[in-house]
Structure 1
Amino acid sequence: MFDGLKDKLNSFREDVEESTDADADAPEEADVDDPAESDVSTGSGDRTEATASPVEETGDDSSEPDDSTEPSTFQRAKAFATGRIIIEEEDLEDPLWDLEMALLESDVEMSVAERILETVRETMLGESRKQVETTGELVEAALHDALLDVIAVGQFDFEERIAEAEKPVTIVFTGVNGVGKTTTIAKLSEWLAERGYSSVLANGDTYRAGANEQIGEHADRLDRQLISHDQGGDPAAVIYDGIEYAQANDIDVVLGDTAGRLHTSDDLMAQLEKIDRVVDPDMTLFVDEAVAGQDAVNRAKEFNEAAAIDGAVLTKADADSSGGAAISIAYVTGKPILFLGTGQGYDDITRFDPEALVDSLLGKE
């Protein structure tokens, strides 16, 4: 999963290593005074401190250490004298450009890519490392923090929220047609059952012919009750009936399907707003395909504006090599990815773990 992006992140790490290691192999370019060089050769810790005094007494402000991100001559000299290497802007310029292109090619949304680059730059610029350490470790740490910063936005414990909420908990699923929304409902029903929660399915997709039959097959296979109305009925009324059924039968969770709709369909989006207003669900989950990339990100924003979503589920994550949607959706909507669909079986759904995804992208799994 996301193998393409893994390769590109690894390339960035290698590029920065090459750039900084080239500087390490060329100490004559470090602009170090002769006294400092003699101190390094003697290995005297006392003389390392003494090196700083002549530099400071010159009265040359450009040699003074300062708070800017660009390392000064003094900082470079001191770093070299103590066996360290400072990562400079020129070391990052080309690798960061390549990383930006790699992220955009992987369908990472522009603002998200910019945030990642900004975090990596801020973390690494002016950073020093001992020559016995590897630049790759610094790059990996910077990438880890930058990726987690955008992926983990809004995360909450889904199961804990179910456990603590007043029953029945009503969850409405939205998204465009054909992304696996109905199958995701069936998978989540099974996921809940494995954790001791009962559920009822309510088919609010009264727009599409055959919708009752499709979700009905899942209900039969899973031995779940299905609440449905005839085609053309009021979707809000169907889901409301599902809530009443759950209250009367001590069912823990109501899983409400809705018609697949394009974010550009004003009538269907207005219908979604009505469901949100009448039913007042405890959670609204947006479902889309991970392989949809930038399209999924754009649709998530539109659906969130129509009826605020609480989280997202990405299907076909096992077939996505780019990872752009998984990285971008939480950051652009402020709402977390909660589950990944990874196959056709009812058990092929996993809780989304930002830390595990970042480790996987960085080859640490």
Structure 2
Amino acid sequence: MFDGLKDKLGSFTSDVEEDVDDEAQEAIEEDAAEADSAAPESGAQQTDAAPTEDAATADAPAADTDDASEEDDRGLTEKAKILATGKSIIDEEDLQDHLDDLELALLSSDVEMGVAGEILSGVEENLVGETRRRLSSTGNLVRDALRESLYDVISVGQFDFEQRIRAADKPVVIIFTGVNGVGKTTTIAKLSERLEGQGLSTVLANGDTYRAGANEQLQKHADNLDRTLISHEQGSDPAAVIYDAVEYAEANDTDVVLGDTAGRLHTSDDLMAQLEKIDRVIDPDMTIFVDEAVAGQDAVNRAREFDEAAEIDGAVLTKADADPQGGAAISIAHVTGKPILFLGTGQGYDDLERFDPEEVVDRLLDA
């Protein structure tokens, strides 16, 4: 994942760093030249004779010159400090060409336009203004500026998924939603395996009562994992299925109910009404949006639309291992204000990776 975008970000950092080095060298040479011009001439002669009144008067401007020299020295020191902290190391005009290239790189990697703009603003602020050190420094000014900006965008809304489950009253009810064929059912099975591995018991519920074969698909996962599946016949009320699963969990001291729902578009009034009914009857603790990382900009748009139509609490991106760009992973949290929680990275039940913003940024920049 991210291979294509990594190359583009690497080109940006190396190009800007080259300009930064040039700017720094010019500043050093300029400061050295100013220091040389301010130094007293080596051939100046001194006399031991007592100064006359006229000579004393003539010496007065020399004192002013000394004061000016001290001020120049202080100015050079301040410049050195500014240079060392990375402030105004490269001017905005020179940076703009690189930012234009970075914007094109982000957009061509399926990063949403508004998110790309946010990243550019952050990079510019971190390079030409005072940096905001929220991550450990790599010692590379440009790379650190880009890391800070990417992190601010990617980390929106993050929370500890398992910790929230542990802290909540049991059973915790989690509903999964999204369009058809993006891997909701497999994601439910993977998450069940992850939670069980952490000592949290789970029950599966098939609220996808309209798709032929949905019961059989989820039942196969339940059998493979030795889990209980609550299901009704095709065409039943999805809210009733989830309700029965909650009752089962309460009666059997099960920690988490994982409820599948029918794939839908946000414009499907009947199916969106089902979600509203589930929300009204069950009042789930979380609603998780699932989509494919490889869907890129389409996944970003759908995440926004689903959040507007039926508020989500977070997202899971499947097929992340097949996504060379990573635009959806960078964009969804910022667009919805809700975090990406996990990445699906394969077909196995253990192929579910916790989404860690700092690790993602480091992976993007090979930090």
TM-score (norm 1): 0.84
Does 2:167 match 1:164? yes
- Which residue of structure 1 lines up, in the alignment, with residue 51 of structure 2? none
- Which residue of structure 1 lines up, in the alignment, with residue 79 of structure 2? 79
- Which residue of structure 2 lines up, in the alignment, with residue 38 of structure 1? 37
| Aligned residues of 1:86 and 1:127 also touching (Cα < 8 A) | no
Q: 1:18 to 1:247 in 2, by over 3 A?
A: same
Q: 1:123 to 1:284 in 2, by over 3 A?
A: same
- AA of the residue aligned to 2:37: S
Equivalent residue for 2:293, pick from 290, 294, 299: 290
| Aligned residues of 2:24 and 2:89 also touching (Cα < 8 A) | no
Mapping for residues 47-66 of structure 1, pairs under 5 Å: 49-51=70-72
Q: 1:306 to 1:33 in 2, by over 3 A?
A: same
Q: CA deviation at 1:20?
A: 2.7
Q: Distance in 1 between matches of 2:246 and 2:344?
A: 26
Q: CA deviation at 1:305?
A: 1.4
Equivalent residue for 2:334, pick from 331, 334, 346: 331
Q: Distance in 2 between matches of 1:303 and 1:275?
A: 15
Deviates more, 1:19-28 or 1:92-101: 19-28
Gaps of 5+ in 1: 54-73, 129-133
Q: CA deviation at 1:25?
A: 5.0
- Which residue of structure 2 lines up, in the alignment, with residue 147 of structure 1? 150
Q: Distance in 2 between matches of 1:213 and 1:240?
A: 20
SS of structure 2 residue aligned to 1:208: coil
1:64-92 Cα shifts (integer Å, max 9, x gaps) = xxxxxxxxxx89x9637997683111231
Mapping for residues 179-258 of structure 1, pairs under 5 Å: 179-258=182-261
Q: 1:47 to 1:35 in 2, by over 3 A?
A: farther
Q: 1:91 to 1:29 in 2, by over 3 A?
A: farther
| Aligned residues of 2:83 and 2:89 also touching (Cα < 8 A) | no
SS of structure 2 residue aligned to 1:11: helix
Q: 1:35 to 1:250 in 2, by over 3 A?
A: closer
Tell me the number of residue pairs that the alignment of Structure 1 and Structure 2 aligns: 334
Does 2:22 match 1:19? no
Does 2:361 match 1:362? no
Equivalent residue for 1:114, pick from 102, 114, 117: 117
- AA of the residue aligned to 1:358: V
SS of structure 2 residue aligned to 1:359: helix
Does 2:343 match 1:340? yes
Does 2:339 match 1:318? no
- Which residue of structure 2 lines up, in the alignment, with residue 351 of structure 1? 354
| Aligned residues of 1:39 and 1:47 also touching (Cα < 8 A) | no
| Aligned residues of 1:16 and 1:91 also touching (Cα < 8 A) | no
Higher CA-based Rg = 2
Does 2:281 match 1:278? yes
- Which residue of structure 1 lines up, in the alignment, with residue 47 of structure 2? none
- AA of the residue aligned to 2:290: V
| Aligned residues of 2:157 and 2:337 also touching (Cα < 8 A) | yes
Q: CA deviation at 1:140?
A: 1.2
| Aligned residues of 2:292 and 2:319 also touching (Cα < 8 A) | yes
Gaps of 5+ in 2: 42-66, 132-136
Q: 1:107 to 1:37 in 2, by over 3 A?
A: farther
Identity %: 70
SS of structure 2 residue aligned to 1:202: strand
SS of structure 2 residue aligned to 1:86: coil
1:241-277 Cα shifts (integer Å, max 9, x gaps) = 1000111111111000000112222221222222112
Q: 1:179 to 1:41 in 2, by over 3 A?
A: farther
Q: Distance in 2 between matches of 1:158 and 1:171?
A: 11
| Aligned residues of 1:37 and 1:81 also touching (Cα < 8 A) | no
- AA of the residue aligned to 1:347: D
Q: 1:239 to 1:28 in 2, by over 3 A?
A: closer
- AA of the residue aligned to 1:286: F
Q: CA deviation at 1:21?
A: 3.0
Q: 1:126 to 1:262 in 2, by over 3 A?
A: closer
